[in-house]
Copies of this chain bind each other. A is one copy, B any other.
Amino acid sequence: MLSHTLRSRGEAALADRLALSAATTEGSQLATADFHGWLAERGRANAFRVDRIPFAELQGWSFEESTGNLVHRSGRFFTVEGLHVTERDGPYGDGPYADWYQPIIKQPEVGILGILVKEFDGVPHFLMQAKMEPGNPNLLQLSPTVQATRSNYTKAHQGADVKYIEHFVGPGRGRVVADALQSEHGSWFFRKSNRNMIVEAVGDVPLLDDFCWLTLGQIGELLHQDNVVNMDSRTVLSCLPLPATASGALLTDIELLSWITGERARHDVHAERVPLAGLPGWRQDEMTVEHEEGRYFNVVGVAVQAGNREVTSWTQPLFEPVGTGVTAFLTQEFDGVPHVLVHARVEGGFLDTVELGPTVQYTPGNYAHLAEKDRPPFLDSVLDASPDRVRYGAVHSEEGGRFRNAESRYLIIDAAEHDAPLDPPPGYTWVTPGQLTWLVRHGHYLNVQVRTLLACLNALPARAR
């Protein structure tokens, strides 16, 4: 027997410290009232401009001759290809189609999205970055400490080093609070995942330009505002191992895992990469790849000029959705314990067929042409909810490095009596926020939209005070 100090497998003390940070609505570093002044100042310090350009003006990007795929000459970054998705015996109430073609982004490398944590005055603070991204409607938003593709930190961009990366990888890294490979948008990315990390710093951390320390309570307040906290921040924040507020639930944890397993097993989905050239239902001109009926999204090109990116100017393709999405949880208390209604969603780019999505996750315009019976379940309940039922509402945008003006209204809505069946329709089930926090320790359970909503659920107390 070797002698070595074992440690307790669990981390109860950590959960309590995170809860303290969530309850602290004024940080000791940057006052919440001063935040927007600071952010605007960072915007002025970093001139930034984005223009739509024809595909022919993309530098280093071209449509590959044999496939029509949009590729970079280095073979790195990402490609835009075609995808053919078929669901045998489907669909099962999660969309009107069981067979479709679409463009998709293929970017197999795993990036790091990381937030650094450090205590000030006994309260954990989170190091956030004011970061410009070309697809953001307002360009500048609050990002994680580190937001780096593998190309970034292995220098394929030929740009500057990634700041603070040494806290997340390598021998000197800090104490890990959370670390999981989480999926990105399954409707736009082919099997893309990023490493979501939260790390507590060891020793002093210098504060660089464009960065600020905030408590979870402060970030919770900002999450109530439109287009401030970017998607990468939201998904990382959702991974926080906050303490569960209730020990009971409608489903035991075993039953919940079994329900997810059953949903994965009953969906027989095949996603096959196909050439972008001649993709059925899609057309292309010198400015745009678009759906023939004008639905879903366009592929476009942009030119970017910026001061604080790793390289100072570049061109790139972006996906641009055709409308604002609606992404919502219906919520309901059972025996006093809040539950949310999750949906086992099939998205063509998921690694493992199905992940848990929100109750509603749709761009309504894409469904407007459908008959009543083919419209997504619960969509009308959410769209018609009276204001007194809206417990949370804010517009957030998706990753501005790949998606342009990809805004959704994120909502948490008290379910009306007729929306809240104890035994919901196939593909839907009630879970507690604590069960979502339990699942998000592992990858490929919660899709990126549910992770945003989980971060918003955790932020509800910040406004309730």
Contact = CB atoms under 8 A, between A and B. Distances in A.
A9 B261 contact: no
Contact of A261 (B179, B258, B422): B179
Contacts of A248: 6-9
A336 B176 CA distance: 26
Interface in A90-139: 108-110, 112
A127 to B, nearest CB: 19
Interface residues of A, number: 58
Interface in A169-220: 176-181, 195, 197
Contacts of A443: 261, 352
A201 B180 CA distance: 36
A1 interface: yes
Interface string A1-41: 11111111111000000000000000000000000000000
Among the interface residues A6, A257, A420, which one has the most CB atoms of the partner chain B within 10 A? A6
A268 B109 CA distance: 7
A7 to B, nearest CB: 6
Among the interface residues A150, A265, A334, which one has the most CB atoms of the partner chain B within 10 A? A265
A109 B7 CA distance: 42
A9 B435 contact: yes
B265 A110 contact: yes
Interface string A261-302: 110110010100000000000000000000000000000000
A250 B176 contact: no
Contacts of A108: 268, 270
A254 B178 contact: yes
A332 interface: yes
Nearest to A108: B270
Nearest to A5: B335
Contacts of A7: 248-252
A11 B247 CA distance: 12
Contacts of A241: 254
Among the interface residues A9, A247, A249, which one has the most CB atoms of the partner chain B within 10 A? A9
Given A4-B334, A265-B181, A9 B247 contact: yes
A310 interface: no
A303 interface: no
Contacts of A270: 108
A265 B248 CA distance: 35
A337 interface: yes
Contact of A181 (B150, B264, B334): B264
A257 B9 contact: no
A442 interface: yes
A8 B109 CA distance: 40
A27 B420 CA distance: 46
A65 interface: no
Contact of A351 (B337, B351, B442): B351
A291 to B, nearest CB: 28
A64 interface: no
Contacts of A258: 176, 179, 197
Contacts of A422: 2, 4
A333 interface: yes
Contact of A6 (B2, B9, B249, B265): B249
Contacts of A166: none
Given A7-B249, A248-B6, A435-B9, A180 B337 contact: no
A293 to B, nearest CB: 31
Those 4 A-B pairs whose CB atoms lie nearest each other, nearest first? A6-B248, A179-B258, A176-B258, A1-B333
Interface of A: 1-11, 108-110, 112, 150, 176-181, 195, 197, 241, 247-255, 257-258, 261-262, 264-265, 268, 270, 332-337, 351-352, 420, 422, 434-435, 441-444
14 contacts: A1-B336, A2-B420, A2-B422, A4-B422, A5-B335, A7-B252, A8-B248, A10-B247, A10-B253, A108-B270, A181-B352, A195-B261, A195-B265, A257-B441
Given A1-B336, A9-B253, A351-B351, 17 more contacts: A2-B333, A5-B335, A6-B335, A7-B248, A8-B247, A9-B434, A10-B247, A10-B252, A11-B253, A11-B254, A108-B270, A109-B268, A110-B268, A176-B258, A179-B262, A195-B261, A351-B352
